[in-house]
Structure 1
Amino acid sequence: MLDKAKALHDELIRLRRDIHAHPELGFQEFRTAALVADTLTELGIDVKTSVGRTGVVGQLGNGDGPTIAIRADMDALPILQKSDAPYKSQNKGVMHACGHDAHTAMLLGAAHLLKQSLADGNWQGNVRLLFQPSEEAFDENGISGATAMISDGALEDVDAVIALHVASDKPAGQIRFQDGYALANVDSFKAWVRGDGGHGAYPHTGSDPLHMLSVILPAIYAIPSRQINPLRGCVVSLGEISGGAAPNVIPNEVYLQGTIRSYHDDVREQLHIEVERTLKLAEQMGGSYKLQLTKGYPAMFNNAEVNGWMRDVAQEMVAETAVIDTEFGMGAEDFAYMTRQAKGAMFMLGAAIDDGIERHHHTDIFDIDESVLPLGVAILAETAHRFVTGKIR
């Protein structure tokens, strides 16, 4: 399968660069979806469009037997790209800064190989190809691409679901796995700490929200280390604090916002309680507060069995030292919604360009080493092929 994927190298690069040059934000992936649908149709694959609004679903197989799904995300980010590459974004202020262009190209490559292998007649199941919109953000109603596709039945009768994610900060060709919780629950909060304000020369005549914050901040930062079991990782970080406009005026309000990350649902709920408890300190100091908590993506759980399928395939394709079991971190992925519907897993594919420049995800200089595209294609396609031919299940 890897040799067959390598034969697609030029086509994979063409697809990836086409998508990269025409990035589209979440639920606006009209051109990308059309490209995907046209490519699948040309391969002779059954296609459904407008699944989860702008998502595309391809189906291979005869409808009998178990079904494995492979997911790729299609959306870009609202970032102005800094690049001189001939395939740089032609949509000003929007760019593929997280590798979704590569994911889509690789799944199209896997579709090509799986369509070829279907002709051998040994299939005992189905492969569903999920081209998902809007992984990067919710809409105004709290809907992401994964939840939209699930609502439209994309995972009905699916027994397992797999995916990959490129890692621009890891050596090209390195393949990383983690069983169990691999990426975090991600929630955000906004808070307003309020007092009376007043003249800076007479602080004793009112309540000072900045002084209240001097007590609240250490309490917030102490939550992970003092309120949560240290064996159950979590993060509470502030990203903005603002308040006041003059040196001699005590403001009547201070604003702050931050992120809350965890792996376990009970810890997630406890963190919400603890953040509010710290803000209640304002009341003990003569002030008040308002808290707005927003739940984001759930933690992504990698099924060990499904991870094992892909790990076995990877170890047969590359040097053993290139396959690593490691921690992914506290990032977030809405693929987590899919792994809660069917047993599933995602692996990380190293794709750093080896020139000493760090091209981190979600930055304006993000890019990848395109030589890894055939490897990602081969692992996805071979894992699915073994599933539908009864070699794994």
Structure 2
Amino acid sequence: MLNKAKTIHDKLINLRRTIHKHPELGFQEIKTSALIANTLRELGIEFQPNVGKTGVVAHLGDGNGPKIGIRADMDALPILEANEVEYKSQVPGKMHACGHDSHTAMLLGVAMLLKDEPIAGEVRLLFQPAEEGNVNGTSGAQEMIKEHALDDLDTVIALHVNGTLDCGQIALISGYSHANTDRVYAKIIGKGGHGAVPHEAIDPIFMTAPILTAIHGIVSRRVNPIMPAVITVGRLAGGNTANVIPDTVELELTIRSTTKEVQKLLMDEIEKALSIARLLGGDYTCDVEYGYPALHNDEHVVRWIEKVGSDLLGSDNIKQRPLGMGGEDFSFMVNSCTGAMFSLGVKDPNGEPKYLHHSEFDIDENALPIGAALLAETALRFVRGELS
């Protein structure tokens, strides 16, 4: 399969660069979806557009047998690209800084590789919009699931590019690979007044100091040390001038965990920390926004991908992926059926690492046929019953 994928290398590069030059944010992937539809139409592959708003779903096989889905996200980020390359973003302030252009190109590569294969079952190609954060309270994976894009699937797989892992390598982990991504919006409420007479006010900035200390002690003193957990106060705002005590101070926190038990513990302890305001004569409000759930990779699916990877790339190029505390809405899909995501190395072995969500992110395009081949071969072996 890898040799076959290398014959379409130039096509994959062209697709990836076309998408890269025209980045679109979540649920705005009109041109990207049109490119996908046109490519699938040229290949003679059945598809449905406008699934989950701007997503595309394609079908390969007769449907009479095992069914596997392969997901690729399509959306870009609101980042001004700093790379000076011929395929640089032509949309100021928008960039494919997370590699979704390459994900989409590789999934189209899977379509090219499998279109003439006899498939007793189904390989379903899921071109998903809006992975990068909730848009109006929802994400692309959630919308596609609502519109039945994953119905009847036995399993679903995906990859994500990794600019710190050498091209030609992949990394996997069974169990949790990504975290719950939640936010807290809190307000410490006091009573404003003149800075020269603080005793006549109830100072929310004063109250915020012990609250911050309590919040920053939660992970170290209330959570089992072997359980992953993060609380970051990313925004603190209060007051506009030196001689005025404000009425309120606003806090925004990001909360990361993997299990529901730790997730609940963190929220409960944050509430307790905020209640210090009441002991000091003030009050507080606390609004929680639950984001993507933690991504849990099924160990059997991970073993399938590991076996295919070893056969195509050699066992020395299969690495252990560490748990990260980032978020990934593919978690919604693996919660609806078993599945797993793996990391695809896209770093030039002779170059510097490239970091996701950075204005200079780019990939070694030699990874494109590798990713397409791994996805296609895994899917083909699954529907043929060669993976157990």
Tell me if both proteins adopt one fold, taking TM over 0.5 as the criterion: yes
More displaced, 258-267 or 101-110? 258-267
Shift of residue 251, structure 1, vs aligned partner? 2.0
Q: Are the equivalent residues in 1 in contact too, given 2:229–2:257 (CA < 8 A)? A: yes
1:366 is the counterpart of 2:387: no
Give the Cα–Cα distance (whole angstroms) in 2 for the partners of residues 391 and 168 of structure 1. Answer: 31
Which residue is equivalent to 1:258?
A: 253
Q: Are the equivalent residues in 1 in contact too, given 2:321–2:343 (CA < 8 A)? A: no
Give the Cα–Cα distance (whole angstroms) in 2 for the partners of residues 254 and 138 of structure 1. Answer: 25
Which residue is equivalent to 1:124?
A: 120
One-letter amino acid of the counterpart of residue 132, structure 2 = E
Match 1:143 to one of 128, 135, 138: 138
More displaced, 173-182 or 97-106? 173-182
Shift of residue 359, structure 1, vs aligned partner? 3.1
Q: Are the equivalent residues in 1 in contact too, given 2:58–2:126 (CA < 8 A)? A: yes
1:219 is the counterpart of 2:211: no
When normalised by structure 1's length, the TM-score is 0.96
More displaced, 79-88 or 53-62? 79-88
* Number of residue pairs the alignment of both structures matches: 388
Give the Cα–Cα distance (whole angstroms) in 2 for the partners of residues 258 and 241 of structure 1. Answer: 9
SS in 2 for 1:376: helix
Give the Cα–Cα distance (whole angstroms) in 2 for the partners of residues 385 and 63 of structure 1. Answer: 13
Where do 5+ consecutive residues of structure 2 fail to align? none
One-letter amino acid of the counterpart of residue 129, structure 2 = P
Shift of residue 83, structure 1, vs aligned partner? 2.1
Give the Cα–Cα distance (whole angstroms) in 1 for the partners of residues 307 and 75 of structure 2. Answer: 30
SS in 2 for 1:190: strand
Which residue is equivalent to 1:329?
A: 324
SS in 2 for 1:88: coil
Give the Cα–Cα distance (whole angstroms) in 2 for the partners of residues 250 and 160 of structure 1. Answer: 57
One-letter amino acid of the counterpart of residue 132, structure 1 = Q
**1:84-120, CA deviations, whole angstroms, 9 ceiling, x for partnerless residues?**
11111112221111000000000010111111323xx
Which residue is equivalent to 1:19?
A: 19
1:193 is the counterpart of 2:188: yes
Structural mapping, 1:1-150, within 5 Å: 1-118=1-118, 123-140=119-136, 142-150=137-145
SS in 2 for 1:173: coil
Q: Are the equivalent residues in 1 in contact too, given 2:63–2:120 (CA < 8 A)? A: no
**1:231-290, CA deviations, whole angstroms, 9 ceiling, x for partnerless residues?**
221111011112122223222211111100110112212222211111111010111111
Structural mapping, 1:263-342, within 5 Å: 263-342=258-337
More displaced, 127-136 or 351-360? 351-360
One-letter amino acid of the counterpart of residue 289, structure 1 = Y
Please tell me the root mean square deviation across aligned C-alpha atoms, in Å. Answer: 1.4
SS in 1 for 2:239: coil
**1:317-373, CA deviations, whole angstroms, 9 ceiling, x for partnerless residues?**
223222111313001110000000110000001212456555321122211111111
Shift of residue 190, structure 1, vs aligned partner? 1.3
SS in 1 for 2:336: coil
Shift of residue 166, structure 1, vs aligned partner? 0.1
Give the Cα–Cα distance (whole angstroms) in 2 for the partners of residues 296 and 241 of structure 1. Answer: 21
When normalised by structure 2's length, the TM-score is 0.97
Give the Cα–Cα distance (whole angstroms) in 2 for the partners of residues 319 and 159 of structure 1. Answer: 27
SS in 2 for 1:370: coil
Q: Are the equivalent residues in 1 in contact too, given 2:80–2:92 (CA < 8 A)? A: yes
Q: Are the equivalent residues in 2 in contact too, given 1:124–1:390 (CA < 8 A)? A: no
Which residue is equivalent to 1:246?
A: 241
More displaced, 332-341 or 383-392? 383-392
Shift of residue 199, structure 1, vs aligned partner? 2.6
Q: Residues 238 and 89 of structure 1: is their aligned pair in 2 closer, same or farther, counting only changes over 3 Å? A: same
Q: Are the equivalent residues in 2 in contact too, given 1:175–1:348 (CA < 8 A)? A: yes
